[in-house]
């Protein structure tokens, strides 16, 4: 039997994935464990291994295409199997998939009826939706006949309509809703064309993306431009950060640290460690300082849980890592686990490994999970000061600027010193202003007396 490679579910929230690149072509021999494709999930780009030895008979989903989880994307012919006939057999499935790329906009809907059919004892009452009984049907777009006809008559692209029927089937009421929304949008835009009053919340017709829950109608009809499709990661960023910024009562507290002592110590360490290939960054010291400060300030290592505050036992420091454009851009948060128990050397090595992996192969779910506090550092770009949006379910995030030489006053004398500004963004449900100030003071002590970070 030829082996069907399907879009894997690489994260809990993943509903669809994009084949970023195929590393094989039709006819290529593959070995078990070989990476056949790079798959972009809603969170990261990850490698997809093959689990069998054989030859790629057919590639069903070309690179750049997004398909739902579970959709066949390629077929592997095993040893002794005829490549051509495997390919021919796979074709009808491929034809079905071809029409899908536009359709995956619709989120996979869990077939509720599948659960219900087990409740209904009667064998004759057909209350199941009739699909699960004989196994899943192909992953093609599901539209009820009347919904398809109504959409056609109204000139609506049915692939843009969110299906609420079993397995995401687009049904009559979905098209009716889309029609009603399209009409109301048309109505509002004819009232005041081009005026700022035409801002409407909600997209034209529940066009399904995992993106931000709100988007805005164009302010002017004369502007020209091009539309860039949202990558899965961009959709996730849009969704999660809107959620964070709109549901968490953010506020910021800034403090300036003198960096002279730390930079001197870093220079000295790096000179001595150069032979072993270790190069400590300012950020490594910062990670250690933030982690050690948790012992005194447990609420900075906590999550707001509705009716309680969960204080985590583990200190896992998340580090925001920006990704290069050739990996699709965006950013991920790599997680250094048990950061309060790791030496500077270990922290530095962990951070470097995470950043390199994120920028080349992509991080695993585990490497991106369970941060309890996050640091975002734009110092390397020369940024003096910025504020960050909390990475839920964290209660705080530290935005770190550059260490900059500047005139400072020391004991009444104007001199040149190196200073760095850090800004905490905080969840006021968990942390009050004075608590934030105290946390920053602890950080300041660690940074300005860096020996305390080593011992």
Task: Note whether 158 binds another protein by CB under 8 A.
Answer: no
Q: What is the DSSP string of 25-39?
A: -TT-EE-TT-EEEEE
Residue 160 Cβ vs another protein, minimum distance, rounded to whole Å: 19
Residue 105 Cβ vs another protein, minimum distance, rounded to whole Å: 20
Residue 15 Cβ vs another protein, minimum distance, rounded to whole Å: 21
Binding segment toward another protein, per CB under 8 A, in 64-72, 171-179, 317-325, 404-412: 171-179
Residue 328 Cβ vs another protein, minimum distance, rounded to whole Å: 37
417 strand-pairing partners: 406
Identify the CA nearest to 399 among candidates 414, 389, 411. Answer: 389
Measure Cα distances from 211 to 141, 207, 241, 314 in Å.
Answer: 21, 10, 10, 31
Residues in binding contact with another protein, number by CB under 8 A:
26
Radius of gyration of the chain (CA): 27
Nearer to another protein, 135 or 412 (CB): 135
- Asked if 428 is an active-site residue, the reply is yes
Q: Which of 9, 140, 149, 428 binds another protein (CB under 8 A)?
A: 149
Residue 129 Cβ vs another protein, minimum distance, rounded to whole Å: 7
Contact 36, 84 (CB under 8 A): no
Nearer to another protein, 65 or 142 (CB): 142
Identify the CA nearest to 372 among candidates 329, 433, 311, 432. Answer: 311
Residue 148 Cβ vs another protein, minimum distance, rounded to whole Å: 8
Residue 122 Cβ vs another protein, minimum distance, rounded to whole Å: 6
Nearer to another protein, 116 or 343 (CB): 116
**Contacts with another protein, 114-143, as mask; x by CB under 8 A:** --x---xxxxxxxxxxx-------------
Contact 15, 107 (CB under 8 A): yes
Q: Which of 6, 89, 164, 364 binds another protein (CB under 8 A)?
A: 164
Nearer to another protein, 116 or 246 (CB): 116
Binding segment toward another protein, per CB under 8 A, in 48-56, 167-175, 212-220, 274-282: 167-175
| Bridging pattern class, strands 35-40 and 45-49 | antiparallel
Question: For residue 436, how far is the Cα from the chain centroid?
Answer: 28
Q: Which of 146, 192, 195, 331 binds another protein (CB under 8 A)?
A: 146
Binding segment toward another protein, per CB under 8 A, in 147-155, 184-192, 271-279, 390-398: 147-155
Nearer to another protein, 206 or 239 (CB): 206
Contacts 24+ apart (CB under 8 A), 348-357: 348/278, 348/279, 348/280, 348/281, 348/284, 349/278, 351/281, 351/283, 351/284, 351/287, 351/319, 354/319, 354/321, 355/319, 355/321
Task: Note whether 276 binds another protein by CB under 8 A.
Answer: no
Nearer to another protein, 112 or 219 (CB): 112
Contacts of 312 (CB under 8 A, 6+ apart): 301, 302, 303, 372
Site for another protein in 81-120 (CB under 8 A): 112-113, 116, 120
Which region holds residue 168: left if phi is over 0, alpha if psi is between -120 and 50, else beta? left
Q: Which of 96, 171, 230, 263 binds another protein (CB under 8 A)?
A: 171
Contact 236, 425 (CB under 8 A): no
Helix (H) or strand (E) holding 154, with range, is: helix 145-154
Nearer to another protein, 170 or 335 (CB): 170
Nearer to another protein, 140 or 428 (CB): 140
Phi and psi dihedrals of 52, rounded to 5?
-135, 155
Catalytic residue among 129, 250, 385, 428: 428
Phi and psi dihedrals of 353, rounded to 5?
-60, -45
257 strand-pairing partners: 420
Q: Which of 172, 256, 310, 357 binds another protein (CB under 8 A)?
A: 172
Q: Give the residue numbers annotated as catalytic, written as ranges.
A: 428
In the complex, which residues of this chain contact another protein (CB under 8 A)? 112-113, 116, 120-130, 144-149, 164-166, 171-173
């Amino acid at each position: 039997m030829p082996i069907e490679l399907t879009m894997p579910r690489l994260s809990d929230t993943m509903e669809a994935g994009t084949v970023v690149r195929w590393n094989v072509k039709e006819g290529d021999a593959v070995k078990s464990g070989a990476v056949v494709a790079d798959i972009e999930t809603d969170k990261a780009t990850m490698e997809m291994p093959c689990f069998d030895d054989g030859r790629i008979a057919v590639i069903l989903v070309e690179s750049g295409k997004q398909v739902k989880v579970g959709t066949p994307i390629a077929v592997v012919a095993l040893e002794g199997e005829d490549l051509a006939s495997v390919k021919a057999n796979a074709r009808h499935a491929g034809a079905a998939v071809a029409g899908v790329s536009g359709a995956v906009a619709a989120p996979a809907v869990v077939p509720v009826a599948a659960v219900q059919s087990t409740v209904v004892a009667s064998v004759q009452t057909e209350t199941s939706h009739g699909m699960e009984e004989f196994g899943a049907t192909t992953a093609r777009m599901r539209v009820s006949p009347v919904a398809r006809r109504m959409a056609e008559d109204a000139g609506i692209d049915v692939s843009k309509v969110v299906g609420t029927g079993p397995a995401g089937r687009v049904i009559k009421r979905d098209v009716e809703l889309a029609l009603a929304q399209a009409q109301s949008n048309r109505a509002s835009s004819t009232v005041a064309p081009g005026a700022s009053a035409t801002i409407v919340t909600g997209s034209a017709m529940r066009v399904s993306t995992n993106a931000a829950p709100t988007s805005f109608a164009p302010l002017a009809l004369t502007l020209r431009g091009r539309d860039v499709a949202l990558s899965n990661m961009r959709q996730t960023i849009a969704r999660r950060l809107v959620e964070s910024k709109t549901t968490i009562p953010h506020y910021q507290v800034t403090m300036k640290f003198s960096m002279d002592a730390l930079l001197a110590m870093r220079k000295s360490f790096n000179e001595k460690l150069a032979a072993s290939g270790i190069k400590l960054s300012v950020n490594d010291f910062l990670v250690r300082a933030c982690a050690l400060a948790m012992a005194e300030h447990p609420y900075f290592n906590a999550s707001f849980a509705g009716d309680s505050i969960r204080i985590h036992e583990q200190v896992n420091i998340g580090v925001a890592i920006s990704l290069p454009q050739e990996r699709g851009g965006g950013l991920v948060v790599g997680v250094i686990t048990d950061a309060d128990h790791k030496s500077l050397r270990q922290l530095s090595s962990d951070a470097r490994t995470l950043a390199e992996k994120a920028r080349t192969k992509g991080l695993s779910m585990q490497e991106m999970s369970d941060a309890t506090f996050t640091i975002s550092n734009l110092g390397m770009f020369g940024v003096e000061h910025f504020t960050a949006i909390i990475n839920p379910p964290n209660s705080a995030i530290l935005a770190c600027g550059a260490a900059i030489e500047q005139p400072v006053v020391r004991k009444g004398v104007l001199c040149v010193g190196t200073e760095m500004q850090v800004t905490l963004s905080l969840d006021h449900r968990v942390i009050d202003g004075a608590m934030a100030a105290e946390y920053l003071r602890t950080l300041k002590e660690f940074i300005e007396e860096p020996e305390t970070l080593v011992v």
